Amino acid sequence: MGSSSGTKDDSSTFGPSPINVQELVKGGPSISIPHQYIRLNQEPPPSFSVTPTPTPTIDMSRLLSEDDLELHKLHSTCRDWGIFQVVNHGVSSTLLEKLNHEVEGFYRLPLEEKMKYRIREGEMEGFGTRCRGDGKYDWVDTFNIVTNPVRKRRPHLFPQLPPSLRSTLECYLSELQRIAARLICLMGKALKIDEKEMTELFDDGLQAVRMACYPPCPKPELVMALTPHSDITLLTILHQVNGVDGLQVKKDGHWLPFNFIPDAFVVNVGDIFQIFSNGVYHSIEHRVSTSREKERMTVTFTVLPNSKADVGPSPSLVNEDNRPLFRTVGMEQYFNDFFTRKLYGKTYLDHMRIQNGHQHSST
C-alpha cells in the first residue's frame, strides 16, 4: 500500500520532492498546487451513490482455533478480493493508541527535526516523498524504514528515532511479525502447501514500515495521495491512525471506497503472493484520494521473502496440468526490474507473466 517507483540511477527523475506537503498546506486554501503534484488524467472517482459490497472480514481468533469455515473464507477472500480486514488479532488497543499518539507526534515535530531523517541521495529509505515513474509526486509525506533483518537497519534512521516512538514501533513490529507469520502459513495451508515451504519463503525476510501523512488539499481533484498500484510485496498490513478514510480499491473494474472497521488491520495480498500461488490468489489495485479538509495518517507494515529466495510459483502448485503462469527470478532481480520500470496499476505483475508459453526478457 505504499510502493515507490522510478529509476535508481537517475536522481533527477527519482529523487525526493524538494517540497514538504505538510509545510505547503500551512499557506491555507489559497495555495497554488505545484505542477509536480498535478495529475490531470486521473481515472474517475468512485460513485458514492452506490453502496459498495463490504470488504470481507477475517476473524484471527477463529483462524487460530483451526476453524475450517474461517480458513475457507480466508481462501476465497484471497482468491476473489485480495484485501480483507482482520479482527480479533490480539494486538491491544492500548498499544495501538500509543502508536497513534507517537506517529501523530512525529508529524507534529518541526520540519528541521524531521529532515534529520530525510531521504539521502541514491537511497530509498527516509523521510520525504519519492518521484513516481511518470515524473509526478503523490500528495503525501512518508517515512520509509527497513526494519528486518535487523542488520539492514540504517544507523541514521530507526536507531535515531525519538526513544518513545522507537520503543513503541519495536513492540508494534513484534506483534505484526507474529500476525504476518501466522497469516502467511494459514494462506499456504489453504493452498495445501507445506508449512515448511511457507516458513522458508519469509523467514528472516525483508520487512519495512512506512508512516504516511496525507495532508488536506484545497483542490483534491488535481492530486493523488497515492497513485493506483498493487503492492509488490508478499503481504502488506495497514493500520489507520486517525480514522480518516481515503483508501479506494479496484474491484471488477470499478473503484470502490474502502470503509475501515476501527482497530481492525487491513491486509493486502501482494504481487509476490499472487505469483507464488500461481494466480490462485490476487493482489488488488488500490489508491488513496485526498480530502479537502482532513489530514489522514497511516502505518504500513510490509513483508517480503528473504534475499536468497526466488520469486516465482510454488513448486507445490506447478505440474503437468498446472503450468507456471509467472516467471521465476531471484529477489534481487525482482527489485531491480521493478525500480527500472515506469509503473502504474498492475503493470509490473503483467511484466512477470509468461505470455503464450514464452517468458518476457527482464529488460
Give the per-residue pLDDT at 86.
97
Which residues, 6 or more positions from 70, have their beta carbon under 8 angstroms from its beta carbon? 58, 59, 62, 63
CA distance 141 to 164: 21
Task: Tell me the HSE value of 334 on the side-chain side, using a 13 A CA sphere.
Answer: 25
Percentage of the chain lying above the pLDDT 70 cut: 88
> Per the structure block, which three cell numbers stand in for 100?
497513534
Chain segment 298-321, per-residue pLDDT in tens: 999 999 998 888 999 999 999 989
Chain segment 71-95, per-residue pLDDT in tens: 999 999 999 999 999 999 999 999 9
CA distance 35 to 138: 12
Whether the predicted pLDDT of 7 surpasses 50: no
6 vs 167: which has the higher pLDDT:
167
Percentage of the chain lying above the pLDDT 90 cut: 60
Give the per-residue pLDDT at 131.
76
- Average pLDDT of the chain? 87
Q: What is the pTM of this model?
A: 0.90
Give the per-residue pLDDT at 10.
34
Indicate the range of 30-39, 85-94, 97-106 predicted with least confidence: 30-39
Indicate the range of 13-17, 237-241, 309-313, 315-319 predicted with least confidence: 13-17
CA distance 119 to 126: 4
Residue type, 120: R
CB 85 within 8 A of CB 58: yes
| Max Cα–Cα distance, the chain, nearest Å | 63
Quickly list DSSP for 155-198: TTSGGGS-HHHHHHHHHHHHHHHHHHHHHHHHHHHHTT--HHHH
Residue type, 168: T
Give the per-residue pLDDT at 12.
34
CB 270 within 8 A of CB 231: yes
E strands in the chain: 57-59, 83-87, 126-128, 141-148, 207-214, 226-229, 235-240, 247-251, 254-257, 265-269, 286-288, 296-303, 310-311, 329-330, 354-355, 358-359
Give the per-residue pLDDT at 338.
78
Indicate the range of 4-8, 273-277, 316-320 predicted with least confidence: 4-8
Whether the predicted pLDDT of 38 surpasses 70: yes
Give the per-residue pLDDT at 198.
92
Whether the predicted pLDDT of 9 surpasses 60: no
Whether the predicted pLDDT of 297 surpasses 60: yes
Can you tell me the mean pLDDT for 163-177? 97
Can you tell me the mean pLDDT for 30-40? 87
With b meaning 16 or more CB within 10 Å and e meaning fewer, what string describes 101-131? ebbeebbeeeeeebeebebeeeebbbbbbbb
The torsion region of residue 129 among left (phi > 0), alpha (psi -120 to 50) and beta comes to beta
Can you tell me the mean pLDDT for 202-227? 91
Whether the predicted pLDDT of 3 surpasses 50: no
Per-residue pLDDT band at 6 (split at 50, 70, 90): very low
Whether the predicted pLDDT of 49 surpasses 70: no
Can you tell me the mean pLDDT for 321-337? 89
Can you tell me the mean pLDDT for 226-254? 91
Give the per-residue pLDDT at 88.
96
83 vs 202: which has the higher pLDDT:
83
CA distance 153 to 125: 10
CA distance 37 to 35: 5
Per-residue pLDDT band at 4 (split at 50, 70, 90): very low
Chain segment 106-126, per-residue pLDDT in tens: 999 999 999 999 998 878 899
Give the per-residue pLDDT at 237.
98
Count of CB atoms situated within 10 Å of the CB of 182: 15
Residue 42: closest CA among 252, 216, 222, 291: 222
C-alpha 175: how far from chain center = 18
Residue type, 138: D
